[in-house]
Amino acid sequence: MTANLITFDLVAVVLTAAAWLAAGTTAASRLSLPAAALTALGLLLTVARVGLTVVLGASGGWWFVQEKAVLELPLQCVTAVAAAVLSAPRLTRAARARTALDGDTTAVSVPLFAAGYAAAASLVVTLLLGYPTTTAVALVTVAVVALAVVVTWRLLDSRPRGVMLSAGGTAVVVGLVGVLTTFAGTPKTDAGGGPAVAYPAAKGVSVASLTGPASPRPGGTVRRYTLDARTATVTLASGKRVAAWTFDGKVPGPPVTAVQGDLVEVTLHNVDIATGVSIHWHGYDVPAAEDGAAGLTQEAVTPGHSFVYRFLADQVGTYWYHTHQDSNQGVQKGLYGSLVVAPRQAKAAPTDLTLPFHTFDGTAVIGDRDGVDTRSAAPGSPVRLRVINTDNVTHRFTLAGAPYKLVAADGNDLNTPGTLTRTALSLAAGGRYDLQLTMPKGSVALLADDDKTGGLRLVPGGGKAAAPPDTTTWPDLDLTAYGRPAAQPVTAKSDFDRRFTLVLDQGLSLSGRTKGRDWTVNGHAFPDVPTLVVRKGDLVEMTVVNRSLATHPWHLHGHSVYVLSRNGDPVTGSPLKLDTFDVKPGEVWKVAFTADNPGLWMVHCHNLVHASKGMSLNLAYEGITEPFDMAGMHGD
């Protein structure tokens, strides 16, 4: 509902501006009847905007109406009242008499133009400046509207007037003060209402020293991998050739697998990726120095150089790895692969398939094949499908031909998952779902985005797959109501040490990395978003608000979060522990985690286009120092 209200408000602003400006234009042309009608429409739309703002605030919260309540509507209402008092009476009399507006039209038309400029300013503030509205934004907005009114009056009335010159001069001064205030600087840290933490730390433990162990758990082994990052031309199953960036010349890269308790050791060598490369273990809570966030926890690996990652395989489940240097370009071009950790004692399903889903220039690839990937499975045998979304956007997966259960999300088992049929699973960018089923006597189809020409087909005994059904009308699963509740370490009633609010929006950034209309967090683009600071052991609540009209898959490095609520509605199903969650337009998510993994960590939108355009920030633990240059964080 909130997303629809945001759209309605934008439409209302455009219509309001158009009505007032058209009223001013027709009044200046002495057309009393249309001017009176348009003035009435402008007043009606202004009242409608007030009502819409009240409803939007009640639906979504203060974050969605702040600029409207403190700036836009006060300015709009003042100018609308001026138009009603100064313009409407003369227009009404002339319209009733069906005569042209006589005498000096300036005093009638200028208030109408002023109301139009106020409405137009509302559109600019919402679309370009976003959240939050600051004193600087308010000063500049009022000054620009006032200056526009003065200029309009001067154009309509050529007689020199001292009051106009004074008003114009005042508007310029106010605007300059606002512009100067914009560059006054922003806080470097956000303590979330908890005790202050010095950052950057003057002294302490270097993040580069927070490395993984040298040996596995008792009973485990060392799993060694070497990955060569290189450019290559990859030929897909259809014959299409893709100019890719690869690990070992393959897309996806070689699967990294381990058993719980093993030590994973991966040597990354950069052969010829000119922008540099690293490996981030997405969703895996590795020690900070192994996280692969180039510019924050390590330097990017340049051509001819290597880096060794070591971490314990303590988290069972489905994960993935990808470059985190120029990650938007690097992942899109193929620098990704799967990471699967099996439990030490459990028996694997006879058919256990890891299925990274990716799009190359509009061509969907599941696993290492475009088109349909057909596999055989014995009837009556258990099947596990590990689906990984490696793209920048949400994908919708449907499974037809057999009942199934969604047994894990983002590597974490769900409690008592129910049986699903004719149900779609929307998977956030970076997210993973584990599906479990018993192979029937007929074929099974896994489709992505309801596309019958691609995806996976399971056939019994090498038979032929049946045509999949139309899945476009299948409803989406509400993951917050799936499974059964169980005890979890943090709830909405927990006593939080810190509470952070992150408002995601799109606005004009004058000091961010890219400068322009960036994707922002609390009104700033990276690297100017204040760093979230914590102490080890803190219990942290994070509220993530999406004011924009795009979905933002939110991802926190080094930690998984428990979902507390979405849009004020608590989780009623299985405890939901995720590392990436889709915050759709107008949504408000509350999540929580324990700060139990010291280091410096990225927090960002996993639509990596958005991250590269500013929607990123850092989380810093007390006493952790940073030896690397964040200016080198390229497109992450």
Q: Of 352, 364, 357, 359, nearest to 458 (Cα)?
A: 352
Q: Are residues 316 and 335 in the same domain?
A: yes
> Which of 346, 363, 384 marks a domain boundary?
346
Q: Which helix (H) or strand (E) holds 333?
A: helix 327-333
Q: Which residue positions in the chain have pLDDT lower than 50?
A: 167-168, 171, 173-175, 178-179, 634-635
Token duo for residue 170: 């005042």
Tens digit of pLDDT for each residue in 117-142? 999 999 999 988 888 888 888 888 88
Number of domains in the chain: 4
Tens digit of pLDDT for each residue in 193-225? 999 998 887 788 999 999 999 999 999 999 999
Give pLDDT, residue 150: 87
Give pLDDT, residue 18: 96
- Please tell me the distance from the alpha carbon of residue 342 to that of residue 259, in angstroms, as a whole number: 5
Give pLDDT, residue 174: 46
Q: Are residues 322 and 439 in the same domain?
A: no
Q: Are residues 461 and 530 in the same domain?
A: no
Q: Are residues 256 and 271 in the same domain?
A: yes
Q: Are residues 455 and 551 in the same domain?
A: no
In-domain check, residue 150: no
Give pLDDT, residue 175: 44
Rg (CA), the chain: 29
Q: Of 13, 555, 144, 132, nearest to 324 (Cα)?
A: 555
In-domain check, residue 158: no
> Which of 118, 133, 148 marks a domain boundary?
133
CATH code of 365's domain = 2.60.40.420
Q: Are residues 341 and 355 in the same domain?
A: no
In-domain check, residue 162: no
- Structural domain of residue 313, as residue ranges? 215-346
Q: Are residues 321 and 383 in the same domain?
A: no
Q: What residues contact 385, with CB distance under 8 A and at least 6 apart?
A: 353, 355, 399, 434, 435, 436, 437, 446, 456
Q: Are residues 504 and 609 in the same domain?
A: yes
Token duo for residue 248: 């070992």
**Residue 32, Ramachandran bin (φ over 0: left; ψ between -120 and 50: alpha; else beta):** alpha
DSSP string computed for 208-228:
GG-PPPSS--TT--EEEEEEE
Q: Are residues 495 and 625 in the same domain?
A: yes
> Which of 319, 346, 373 marks a domain boundary?
346
Q: Are residues 498 and 608 in the same domain?
A: yes
- Please tell me the distance from the alpha carbon of residue 115 to that of residue 77, in angstroms, as a whole number: 8
- Please tell me the distance from the alpha carbon of residue 382 to that of residue 405, in angstroms, as a whole number: 12
Q: Are 76 and 107 spatial neighbours (Cβ–Cβ below 8 Å)? A: no
In-domain check, residue 169: no
In-domain check, residue 235: yes
In-domain check, residue 138: no
Give pLDDT, residue 133: 87
Q: Are residues 94 and 37 in the same domain?
A: yes
In-domain check, residue 197: yes
In-domain check, residue 145: no
Q: Are residues 537 and 409 in the same domain?
A: no
